[in-house]
C-alpha cells in the first residue's frame, strides 16, 4: 500500500492529507468544512425546499433548515433528516415534513421545490483538491474521520451509548486504532460513519476506512515528535466543536474525556486534566456538565506525566495554562492531527513501516 488519502471532517474545517509511501511525499490542505458549505448552499436558496441525501454533521445546516421551515415548506428524506435528529418526530416538531427517501428523490427531480443534497463528502470539492495536489485521484486506502454520536436504543442516552461502545472496544484492545473500521465492518449504530463510508465508495480506492474524529485526534496528537520520545503523556485536541483529552502509558490509552469547546474554561480544563491522569474523572459528572463523557482504564498519576501536548485549531485556550504545555505538531502540522491519526491507525492495521517524522 503506497497511496493514501485522509480526510478529517470537522465542524469548522475539512483537513486533507495525501501521502505517498513510495516517495515519502505528502500534500495537505485545510478548507471550510462541509457543515459550513452545505449550510451556505441552503441559505442561498429561496422558497420551498426538498432535502435528500444522508446524515451529515449538523449544527449550521440544522439551524438553516429549521429557520426555513418557519417561512416555507421544507421536505426532508428520512435519511437526510437524521442530520437533525434520529427521532424523526422531533424533526417534524420543527415544522419539517419527513418522507421516504424515494419520495424525496422524485420531488427533487420536479420543479416545485428547490433541491438540496446533504452529505459529508462533497465529491467535486475533494476531487478538485486532490487534482490541485497534482496527483491522480486513485488510492490504495482512503481514511475518513468524523464525530458520530451513534443511534442508541430507545430510552438510552446517545452519549452514554457511544461511551459504552468505546469502553467495550478499548477493553478488548487499549489502543485508539482499535476504533478504526473498514467500510464493511462499521457497527450498525454508527449511522453517520456508515453514511460517509457509502458515499466514499465513489472514490477509486482499494480500501475505505472510517474512524471517530476524537479517537483519530488523540492518536494523531500522540505522534508529535517530542511526545513520541516519552512514555506517560497527556494529549489535548482543542477543536472547533469538541475538546478531547487522553492519557497514554507506553502507547496504551489509559483514559480520556470529551467536552464541548465553547463550554470549557481553562480552569475547568486544567482540573479535568489532573482528574484524568489521577484516574478520578467521572463520566456521569461530565455528562451532567454538558460534556460528552469520560473513560478511565488506569491512573498514571498527574505528577508522573512526562509531557502535555496540545493540538487543534483552538489550542490557544491553553496558552496561559499553569502547566507546561507543548504545542504539538504531528507529522509537522497542528492542523493534521486527525489525518495523522487516521494514517497511523491504518498503518497499524496493516503492520506497515512507521511513517516518517515530517
Residue (of 40, 346, 345) closest to 177 by Cα position: 345
The arithmetic mean of pLDDT across residues 133-156, rounded, is 92
- The pTM (predicted TM-score) of the whole model is 0.93
Q: Give all strands (DSSP E) within 78-212, no chain letters.
A: 97-99, 114-118, 139-146, 180-182, 205-212
> Sign of the C-alpha dihedral, residues 275, 279, 283, 285?
negative
Q: Give tens-digit pLDDT for 197-221.
A: 999 999 999 999 999 999 999 999 9
The arithmetic mean of pLDDT across residues 250-271, rounded, is 93
Q: Give tens-digit pLDDT for 176-193.
A: 999 999 999 999 899 999
Q: Give tens-digit pLDDT for 111-133.
A: 788 999 999 999 999 999 999 99
Q: Give tens-digit pLDDT for 269-299.
A: 999 999 999 999 988 888 888 888 899 999 9
Give how far Cα 344 sits from Cα of 14, 190, 264, Å: 18, 22, 29
Query: Rounded to whole angstroms, how far apart are CA atoms 67 and 74?
Result: 10
Decide: residue 188, CB within 10 A, 0-12 exposed, 13-18 middle, 19+ buried.
exposed
Q: How many CA atoms lie within 13 A of 37 on its CB side?
A: 18
Q: Which three cell numbers stand for residue 88?
A: 424523526
What pLDDT is attached to residue 253? 96
**Mean pLDDT of the residues in the chain:** 93
What percent of the chain stands above pLDDT 90? Answer: 81
What pLDDT is attached to residue 3? 97
Q: Which three cell numbers stand for residue 284?
A: 456521569
Q: Give tens-digit pLDDT for 15-68.
A: 999 999 999 899 999 999 999 999 999 999 989 999 999 999 988 999 999 999
What pLDDT is attached to residue 358? 59
> Sign of the C-alpha dihedral, residues 190, 235, 141, 172?
negative
Residue (of 95, 58, 45, 103) closest to 78 by Cα position: 103
Helices 337-350 and 213-221, axial angle in degrees (round to 10) = 90
Confidence of residue 335 (pLDDT cuts 50, 70, 90): very high
Contact status, residue 64 vs residue 36, Cβ threshold 8 Å: no
Contact status, residue 137 vs residue 128, Cβ threshold 8 Å: no
- Predicted confidence (pLDDT) at residue 5 exceeds the cutoff of 90: yes
Q: Give all strands (DSSP E) within the chain, no chain letters.
A: 3-9, 13-20, 25-32, 49-53, 74-77, 97-99, 114-118, 139-146, 180-182, 205-212, 232-238, 242-249, 252-260, 293-296, 307-311, 326-327
Q: Give tens-digit pLDDT for 89-108.
A: 999 999 999 999 999 999 99
Confidence of residue 72 (pLDDT cuts 50, 70, 90): very high
Q: Which three cell numbers stand for residue 343?
A: 494514517
- Predicted confidence (pLDDT) at residue 165 exceeds the cutoff of 90: no
What percent of the chain stands above pLDDT 70? Answer: 99
Amino acid at each position: 500500500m503506497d497511496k493514501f488519502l485522509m480526510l478529517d471532517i470537522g465542524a469548522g474545517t475539512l483537513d486533507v492529507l495525501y501521502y505517498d509511501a513510495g516517495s515519502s511525499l505528502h500534500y495537505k490542505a485545510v478548507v471550510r468544512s462541509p457543515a459550513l458549505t452545505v449550510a451556505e448552499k441552503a441559505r442561498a436558496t429561496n422558497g420551498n425546499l426538498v432535502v435528500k441525501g444522508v446524515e451529515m454533521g449538523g449544527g449550521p445546516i440544522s439551524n438553516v433548515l429549521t429557520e426555513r421551515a418557519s417561512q416555507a415548506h421544507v421536505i426532508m428524506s428520512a435519511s437526510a433528516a437524521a442530520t437533525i435528529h434520529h427521532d424523526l418526530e422531533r424533526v417534524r416538531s420543527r415544522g419539517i415534513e419527513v418522507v421516504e427517501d424515494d419520495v424525496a428523490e422524485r420531488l427533487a427531480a420536479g420543479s416545485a421545490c428547490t433541491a438540496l443534497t446533504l452529505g459529508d463528502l462533497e465529491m467535486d470539492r475533494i476531487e478538485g483538491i486532490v487534482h490541485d495536489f497534482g496527483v491522480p485521484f486513485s488510492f490504495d486506502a482512503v481514511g475518513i474521520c468524523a464525530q458520530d454520536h451513534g443511534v442508541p436504543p430507545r430510552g438510552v442516552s446517545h452519549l452514554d451509548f457511544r461511551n459504552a461502545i468505546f469502553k467495550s472496544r478499548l477493553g478488548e484492545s487499549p489502543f485508539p486504532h482499535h476504533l478504526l473500521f473498514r467500510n464493511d465492518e462499521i457497527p450498525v449504530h454508527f449511522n453517520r460513519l456508515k453514511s460517509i463510508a457509502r458515499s466514499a465508495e465513489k472514490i477509486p480506492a482499494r480500501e475505505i476506512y472510517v474512524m471517530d474524529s476524537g479517537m483519530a485526534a488523540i492518536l494523531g496528537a500522540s505522534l508529535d515528535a517530542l511526545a513520541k520520545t516519552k512514555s506517560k503523556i497527556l494529549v489535548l485536541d482543542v477543536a472547533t466543536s469538541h475538546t478531547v483529552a487522553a492519557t497514554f502509558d507506553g502507547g496504551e490509552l489509559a483514559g480520556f474525556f470529551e467536552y464541548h469547546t465553547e463550554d470549557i474554561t481553562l480552569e475547568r480544563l486544567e482540573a479535568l486534566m489532573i482528574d484524568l491522569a489521577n484516574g478520578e474523572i467521572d463520566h456521569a459528572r461530565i455528562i451532567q456538565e454538558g460534556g460528552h463523557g469520560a473513560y478511565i482504564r488506569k491512573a498514571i498519576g498527574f505528577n508522573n506525566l512526562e509531557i502535555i501536548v496540545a493540538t487543534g485549531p483552538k489550542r490557544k485556550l491553553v496558552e496561559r495554562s499553569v502547566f507546561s504545555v507543548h504545542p504539538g505538531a504531528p507529522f509537522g502540522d497542528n492542523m493534521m492531527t486527525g489525518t495523522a491519526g487516521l494514517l497511523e491507525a491504518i498503518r497499524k492495521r496493516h503492520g506497515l513501516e512507521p511513517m516518517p517524522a515530517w
